[in-house]
Structure 1
């Protein structure tokens, strides 16, 4: 499950948050850039002298190794050579991976996430039951927004583009709250309850159940809307195919006339125009039905 973002968050920031779910989870677990942005140049300056020192020492090390290799202490020369090569490799590796405080992308994500804290939700904000309900809502919304009838403006795409993301955020926000309260409630029950507390717990459990039922009712309304849109989508494609066949009808009639077989024209071809009209009425009814379902969401 991806990041759910408040639709009021700017689109560029929302896209950034959605694309960095794993980094946001690390932040939620306590990760933060180690240094302030202004300290990065100082860090680079500390790296520079050690590189220069290593470079300056190279001729000395080579000369010393030549002397050792040409003497009875040749094994010590090989040890010195291996040690020096190891130091060089470690240095190269450390320079190839920039430290965390020099990763501008991660810092930018961190700053935006801090600024818009509370305006986005992660997978860990939901318990298993909530994830299933939110998944249903997201599938219903996705099927509507990706439909051809929506893209063609038959469903009032502008309203869909505003209302459906708002519905997703509101459902996600309520499910996150519900998940937190359910987790706390289960922890309380796990510690054991005194007999005097039981009468107080029962109304709280009913409140949780009633809240969950209300959220599920919202999701079911979305699913009904998506189902109506799916019916309209089927009628839309069937109507388009019939229209395509009807455009070809004169060519079939011409062929039948030229071949002398026009008296044998099959009834199915002659009925194309009638079928197209029937499908157009079906499409109109399906779209009107979808509009009615959408009004329920707005209300």
Structure 2
């Protein structure tokens, strides 16, 4: 399956304190519960505790006082342990939902977006994933721009605007009649044009991210080729001796020169690809969305 067909991931404001960000990220279901107003269900352990005396009475009738006491104690202990475990879990759930409500403006869920906006956000996330997972990024060749900070912020800014655009799309569909009365088309057109302009701007922003990702991928490919060629370059003298010993004509000199030039040529190509990636990133981030 094409990964771009997958829904986008939750996007959380990278400017949040790290512990808050991690807690929100670890439980997207709690973000959804906070968004929809769903409350955790009450503990089932309370019901079992309530039934203990009735179970004890039944045991007394059937087996006598000693049996009733043993059975009631066992069931009571099980019920108490179950209630304590469920209560602790529900307390954690309530805390997470409370935190999600407190920071409701600091995350965007896939369901906050209509389908076109979901696809656009997913494309932005895929582009950033490709950049941050690249070899040249990890090796620091494109570290003139702090991608680990700048790119998550870029995705967050795009996600926020897509969420707002999706909400306004929905409002626009509710308010604007499918069939407009004659003569009123021009009155509604500026609102439609404003939404289209916002979409076009965000789509262009995502295409710039994708172009950056393509440049980084290209730099990665050249870098891997360069690494392999460097391994061969270490054995260049062996290849040169082989040619000198076996090719007894003018071609030998040309082959020897070519062997010495190849590593330098690939190195230049790699440097040019990294420079192009940096230039593309600079063009993208010269006008930040913030």
- Give aligned pairs, total: 266
Match for 2:35 among 10, 28, 41? 28
| CA distance 1:98–1:288, change in 2 (3 Å) | same
Match for 1:116 among 93, 103, 107? 103
| CA distance 1:269–1:139, change in 2 (3 Å) | farther
Match for 2:195 among 205, 208, 213? 208
Larger deviation, residues 117-126 vs 183-192? 183-192
RMSD: 3.7
Q: Deviations over 1:177-216 (max 9, x none)?
A: 1111111111223576555753321110000101111111
CA distance in 1, matches of 2:85, 2:209: 47
Q: Aligned runs of 1:217-256 on 2, under 5 Å?
A: 217-249=204-236
TM-score by length of 2: 0.77
- SS of the residue aligned with 1:211? helix
**Where does residue 17 of structure 1 map in the other structure?**
24
CA distance in 2, matches of 1:275, 1:96: 72
Match for 2:272 among 267, 274, 285? 285
CA distance in 2, matches of 1:223, 1:50: 61
Q: Deviations over 1:250-284 (max 9, x none)?
A: 56678x6xxxx961279878744421111100011
Is the CA contact 2:240–2:259 (under 8 Å) kept in the aligned structure 1?
A: no
**Where does residue 12 of structure 2 map in the other structure?**
5
Larger radius of gyration: 1
TM-score by length of 1: 0.75
**Where does residue 63 of structure 2 map in the other structure?**
63
- Asked whether 1:146 is paired with 2:153, we answer no
| CA distance 1:176–1:268, change in 2 (3 Å) | farther
Is the CA contact 1:4–1:122 (under 8 Å) kept in the aligned structure 2?
A: yes
| CA distance 1:197–1:92, change in 2 (3 Å) | farther
CA distance in 1, matches of 2:41, 2:144: 45
1:249 Cα shift? Answer: 4.2
CA distance in 2, matches of 1:192, 1:97: 60
Unaligned runs of 5+ in 1: 65-83
- Asked whether 1:103 is paired with 2:85, we answer no
CA distance in 2, matches of 1:14, 1:53: 46
CA distance in 1, matches of 2:49, 2:153: 55
- SS of the residue aligned with 1:118? helix
**Where does residue 53 of structure 1 map in the other structure?**
53
Is the CA contact 2:35–2:101 (under 8 Å) kept in the aligned structure 1?
A: no
**Where does residue 245 of structure 2 map in the other structure?**
263
**Where does residue 170 of structure 1 map in the other structure?**
157
CA distance in 2, matches of 1:233, 1:145: 12
Unaligned runs of 5+ in 2: 1-7, 65-70
Is the CA contact 2:136–2:220 (under 8 Å) kept in the aligned structure 1?
A: yes
Q: Deviations over 1:204-235 (max 9, x none)?
A: 00001011111111111111111111111111
CA distance in 1, matches of 2:87, 2:178: 42
